[in-house]
Chain A
């Protein structure tokens, strides 16, 4: 900003349109860059959501992993846990697994497959879209899932993962 205004002020008569154009370009690039940096970052800050019946305010990353690997059958208030996930190749699922759970998507699949095909556990319920995820978590007592940004949905609670 400063360099732009000072350069146009110090040389107001020397080819002003050219200088304006040249300095305006990096400025708009910087602005777009800033938007690209901040906006998707806010978008990809996936959040863990739960049904209204769940009273926990926050859980640890370790606990979040236990819920999504189907190892915790109950909430603190003894409500059965119902886990909802998006398909393995869904971008939101991949982001959530890596950023929130700290697991690679293929690791989750391995854990679920071992349980499904050895009879020692069940798979989470797979939903097709983020909207369906919200709907199912909102309507299932003990439900847990995830969204891109929970502020858009009032019918579910956000659970902070420390």
Chain B
């Protein structure tokens, strides 16, 4: 709310002068409206992924509608509503995906500086900013070992400020983003970080910060990126909570590399996420772990509108216990070892039928269940170590 007031005040200052300067041109001439919708069908041999997948799930739907309006060439207002249904994790209630004012403070053919104010998507890794737009993803699902769907909101967006600077030189382009504010969280946070939905609420401390650095060679053949977000969650227990008021400190960072040729795009990313749980009481002793994940991915364009996808990814709940045996032993076998990792092969095919429509199909071979949501699979005894996934998706955009 405070941000909205700030934006409004800012625009009230700048808006009218620019409108006069433009003369005959109407402010609304620059309005752009875009949107997308997608529906998928998912089948898994065992384990639940995005709904009741063993019996074919249709519970993966994405609908987005956005508008952007340049108040003047320096200020862009934009917002997007997103309705996303994803199995038992998200029910499709429309939410403000982003709503911001992008203000260019200085710009030349050598550099650009600016600030984004409001709800801003976190520029983490290659895909996070537009992770819910099927057209911008390499497959139906992003690599789950880095872009978890079991807890996407924590890293999704920030209510706050992001400063950005870009420098264009003959040797390429360098860009830096620094952000701070309040992460947008939901009850999947509890399910993932406490493995249950305890009575209580997660709050964020004011320790939240984001950094992103990208370098790309001229023509953007090679891109290298480093991005990270640091945040601290405080659990305020409810009356019936067996847990005490504890904190969870999270540092999530990704190293990214991408190489483009006319027919090929090769991508690789590496994630490391140190986590620390403190003061939750005797039922949930203090605990430290470092989540790790990486993938190698190639997309090949047979024709400009037909693309093949191949990917291999691995993810671990604890990089010092990659086979999950130690944690399994600590929990007296309640957690099977294979719940501590995921190793996934993916093959996919994408066909852009025309400028509006796209369809694709995807096959995944899974070893381990680390990427699964506890919310969707509450009974650990039911989990199966080896499983297959097949999915199809149709998507529309305008």
Q: Which of A60, A81, A104, A117 contacts B34 (CB 8 A)?
A: A117
**B304 engages A117 (CB within 8 Å):** no
Residues of B within 8 A of A65 (CB): 219
Q: A62-B218, A72-B109, A123-B34 are in contact. Are A113 and B73 (CB under 8 A)?
A: no
Interface size, chain B (Cβ < 8 Å) = 45
Q: How far, in angstroms, from A119 to B107 measured CA to CA in the complex?
A: 18
Contact yes or no, B32 A123, CB < 8 A? yes
- Specify which of A89, A116, A117, A122 is in contact with B30 (CB 8 Å cutoff): A122
Q: Which among A71, A107, A123 is the interface contact of B260 at CB below 8 angstroms? A: A107
A106 contact set on B, CB distance < 8 A: 301, 304
- CB neighbours (8 Å) of A80 from chain B are 72-73
Task: Kindly state whether residue B297 has any CB partner on chain A within 8 Å.
Answer: no
B110-132 interface mask toward A, CB cutoff 8 Å, 1 = contact, 0 = none? 00100010001101000001100
Which residues of chain B are within 8 angstroms of A98 by Cβ–Cβ distance?
262
Residue B180 at the chain A interface, CB threshold 8 Å: no
Q: Is B359 an interface residue (CB 8 A)?
A: no
Q: How far in angstroms is the closest Cβ of chain A from B142?
A: 14
The reply to whether B109 and A63 form a contact with Cβ atoms under 8 Å apart is: yes
Contacts of B129 in A (CB 8 A): 114, 117-118, 120
Least CB distance, A72 to chain B, in whole angstroms = 6
Give the total of A residues in contact with B, Cβ under 8 Å: 34
Residues from chain A with a CB closer than 8 A to the CB of B79 are: 119
Interface bits B307-341 vs A (CB < 8 Å: 1, else 0): 00000000000000000000000000000000000
| Interfacial residues, chain B to chain A (CB-CB below 8 A) | 30, 32, 34, 36, 64, 66, 68, 70, 72-74, 76, 78-80, 98-100, 102, 104, 107, 109, 112, 116, 120-121, 123, 129-130, 133, 135-136, 166, 168, 170, 218-220, 260-262, 301, 304-305, 355
Q: Give the dominant DSSP class at B's interface.
A: strand
- Residues in A with CB closer than 8 Å to B133 are 113, 117
The verdict on A73 contacting chain B, using a C-beta distance below 8 Å, is yes
Give complex CA distance A62, B109 in Å: 9
| CB-defined A-B contacts under 8 Å, sample of 18 | A62-B168, A62-B170, A71-B166, A74-B73, A103-B219, A104-B262, A107-B220, A107-B260, A113-B133, A116-B66, A118-B98, A118-B129, A119-B79, A119-B80, A119-B100, A119-B102, A120-B76, A121-B76
User: Which of A102, A104, A110, A123 is the most central at the interface, judged by chain B CB atoms within 10 Å of its CB?
Assistant: A104
Shortest CB–CB separation between residue A144 and chain B, in angstroms? 13
Interface residues of A in 86-137 (CB under 8 A from B): 87-89, 94, 98, 102-107, 110, 113-114, 116-123
| The residue from B30, B98, B262 contacting A119, defined by CB atoms under 8 A apart | B98
Does A35 count as interface, using CB distance less than 8 angstroms? no
* Chain B CB within 8 A of A19 CB: no
Is B130 a contact partner of A117 (Cβ separation < 8 A)? yes
